[in-house]
Amino acid sequence: MQTLGSLLAEAAAALTQAKVGEPRRRARRLVSSTLALSPADLLAHPERAVDERATDRVRVALARMVDREPLSRILGRREFWGMEFGLSTDTLDPRPETETVVTAVLRSIPDRGAPLRLLDLGTGTGCILLALLSEFPAATGFGVDVAAGAAVTARRNAATLGLAHRADFVVGDWAGPISGVFDVIISNPPYIASAALADLPREVALYDPRCALDGGPDGLACYRSLAADIRRLMGPRSLFVCEVGLSQGSAVEAILRANGLSIERCERDLAGIMRCVVAQAVASMAEKIVGMGCLPG
């Protein structure tokens, strides 16, 4: 019978041989997650016996990781903003750098009690929208995704997190099915140039849906589609906050300006990379007057 220590050593050796990066760290995460143990328990009790059924579970998961499947896909879940989100084949696997979008919104709106209307375009798992709803308890939100399976996954995540009463998810092409005015519009659109998809790591190329990655010939096609449509959904104080790819900040800013938005600022992620753009609608004179309370809104 295997022990925790021998099973961990087996996993680390297999990942090392497969040239998977950080094999010992990944082995610890794999074994502890598969057996529902904390990493501390795993290391503190290497002599603990592991029965045959549990050993088989670890080895099945290990074979998938050797084939470069991300652990989040193996487990079917990913942590984001301190919350756990279920994944599906129709959703992007949320990345830590996307939390920059959440941080940018929180920095722009310090009043956590604000009764905001939020719109998340290309919602995927719903992670950005649901993270923001957890921070703004009086807010409500809509998430839109072109993939029906993503909308189903996002609804399931909202229910699991106790946020279903404040979140709704619909299937549609960007803002097409949506009307009304929103206080904050957020998006993490596909932004990888089509030709660059072939160079993506196996962990991304094989397991993230292509439609969530492919940003067209120059990686900017989705920003053009968004910018051309979101102005109608924005009032004089509304914000648009979007994630951008490496070195895309200036190009995205130019697209937004050309479609009636002003750039408030850009935000860097924890690695110091320019990660999201914060923009506001350029208000017409009538909107400015309404905003000052001189006309009925």
Among 67, 96, 123, residue at a domain's last position: 67
Q: Is 49 within the bounds of a domain? A: yes
Q: Are residues 157 and 281 in the same domain?
A: yes
Q: Is the same domain home to 51 and 84?
A: no
Mean pLDDT of 145-171: 98
Q: pLDDT at residue 291 above 60?
A: no
Residues 26 and 89 in one domain: no
Is 50 within a domain? yes
If asked whether residues 57 and 151 sit together in one domain, one would say no
Q: Report d(CA 147, CA 31) in Å as an integer.
A: 33
In-domain check, residue 72: no
Cβ(226)–Cβ(256) under 8 Å? Answer: no
Same domain flag for 51 and 153? no
Check whether 289 has a pLDDT greater than 90: no
Judge whether residue 73 has pLDDT over 50.
yes
- Residue 201 falls inside a structural domain: yes
Give the type of residue at 6.
S
Q: Any idea what the CATH number is for the domain that residue 102 is in?
A: 3.40.50.150
In a domain, 296, yes or no: no
Contact 15, 26 (CB under 8 A): yes
Around Cβ 290, how many Cβ atoms within 10 Å? 16
User: Which pLDDT does position 284 carry in this prediction?
Assistant: 56
Domain of residue 63 covers 2-67
Percentage with pLDDT > 90 across the chain: 91
Claim to verify: residue 60 and residue 175 sit in the same structural domain: no
For residue 73, is it within any domain? no
Kindly tell me the burial class for residue 164, based on how many C-beta atoms sit within 10 Å of its own C-beta (0-12, 13-18, 19 or more). Answer: middle
Pick the closest to residue 164 from 189, 134, 188, 144 (CA basis): 134
297 part of a folded domain? no
Domain identity same for 90 and 54: no
23-38 pLDDT per residue, tens: 999 999 999 999 999 9
Residues 56 and 155 in one domain: no
Whether 267 and 123 share a structural domain: yes
* Matching residue, tokens 């979008």: 101
Q: How confident is the model at residue 1 (pLDDT cuts 50, 70, 90)?
A: confident
* 149 or 287, which is more confident: 149
Summarize the chain as % helix, strand, coil (round to 5): 45, 20, 35
Q: How many domains does the chain have?
A: 2
Mean pLDDT of 272-289: 78
- For the chain, give the number of residues: 297
Q: pTM for this structure?
A: 0.92
**Judgement on whether residues 19 and 106 belong to the same structural domain of the protein:** no
Average pLDDT for residues 204-219, to the nearest whole number? Answer: 96
**Angle formed at CA 176 by CA 219 and CA 210, multiple of 5 degrees:** 35
Same domain, yes or no, for 96 and 156?
yes
pLDDT on residue 288 = 52
Q: What is the pLDDT of residues 74-100, one digit of tens each?
A: 999 999 999 999 999 999 999 999 999
Paired tokens of 251: 């190009």
Answer whether residue 296 shows pLDDT above 50: no
For the chain, the average pLDDT equals 94
pLDDT bin (cut points 50, 70, 90) of residue 294 is: very low
Same domain for 91 and 199, yes or no, is yes
Last residue of a domain, one of 39, 67, 95: 67
Q: Does 74 map to a domain?
A: no
What is the structure's pLDDT at 297?
A: 38
| Domain end among 16, 33, 67 | 67
